[in-house]
Copies of this chain bind each other. A is one copy, B any other.
Amino acid sequence: MDVGYRVAVVGATGAVGQQMLKFLEEREFPVREIIPLSSARSAGNQITFMGKQVEIQEAKPESFTGVDIALFSAGGNISKQLAPEAVKRGAVVIDNTSAYRMDTNVPLVVPEVNPDAIRRHNGIIANPNCSTIQMVAALKPLVDKYGLERIIVSTYQAVSGAGMEAMQELEAQSEAWVRGDDVQAQYLPVGKAEKHYQMAFNVIPQVDMGQENNFTFEEMKMIQETKKILEDESIRVAATCVRVPVMRGHSESVYVELKSDYDLAEVRSLLHQTDGIIVQDNIIEQEYPMPLDATDRTEVFVGRLRRDLDYPRGLHLWVVSDNLLKGAATNSIQIAETLVSQGL
């Protein structure tokens, strides 16, 4: 059978990689052959794809021979090493790490926001940071209608954004807490960082490493990626990124200042009409997005819409989405779908 594409998934055993494989199946992406790749440690294990057992191979430069589309989600270093090797062998890389996001030569894409950027690719297309994706997806209809001057965002990020080890750690800590045992902290907030803090029943105002300018790398990703995706360097963006004891689903308290006057009912209606966005917005009736409800859902949920009391063009929103799906796997597969519809 010659229809379809040879698709490699790098990081096939990871939290996001597993979701990618699931979506390729569920969304009936035209896969002729699936090539699950991983580190040497996980190679040799089997995955089931479309009812067939497929062996996971160690990711090497030659793994990409004959590959059409390579989905990377195995950390920035792997992408830096192997993405150029995949491109050299003719694959288009969709990279879900921070390795190439700010590379001027690489489009950074949320398909419902800037699909046309895909056409400018030179072999690599970057998937934005999870926190950025859900925010720009929610803001895009407002950007188009009213223009956007400024964003101030504080995040409530799930531990799955830091990978499976982080999920296992929150689970283990919660179990220890319930049993009355000592709670061990060996991974969060950042696996490679020097200090680790208890996540269960705590809030940690650090996602990714700290920088000399007192922001974290995660905060700088949200600031820089938003400007790149919206193709507007004049938008003022400020971010405070915080980890909370939630397994899946990032929440964001977003304040924006629009360029022109808006009507709140119209904002609600605009968002309601947008594919991929679900509005849950009635505080009197206690309707608003929450990460538990967003888990395993591919949409971006928006609520707590309200006009700032002092600044009429100021708008507050609460945005929630499953960081492993729209924030990662779903968006990557949507990029692949758009790429295919554009003829690679």
Interface residues of A (CB under 8 A from B): 150, 152, 154, 156, 174-175, 177-178, 189, 193-195, 197-198, 201-206, 210-216, 223, 236-238, 240, 242, 244-247, 249, 251, 253, 255, 282-286, 288-292, 303-311, 314, 316, 318
Contact = CB atoms under 8 A, between A and B. Distances in A.
A318 B205 contact: yes
Contact of A244 (B236, B240, B245, B318): B245
Nearest to A240: B253
A247 B201 contact: yes
25 contacts: A150-B310, A152-B152, A174-B174, A174-B177, A178-B178, A193-B286, A195-B285, A197-B292, A198-B292, A201-B247, A202-B246, A202-B291, A203-B246, A203-B249, A203-B251, A203-B290, A204-B290, A205-B288, A206-B283, A206-B286, A210-B284, A211-B283, A214-B283, A242-B251, A244-B244
A255 B238 contact: yes
A75 to B, nearest CB: 21
A292 B205 CA distance: 12
User: Which of A201, A292, A314 lies at the interface centre, i.e. has the most chain B CB atoms within 10 A of its CB?
Assistant: A201
Given A193-B286, A206-B283, A213-B309, 14 more contacts: A150-B310, A152-B255, A154-B253, A195-B285, A195-B286, A202-B291, A203-B251, A204-B290, A210-B284, A215-B306, A215-B309, A238-B255, A240-B318, A245-B246
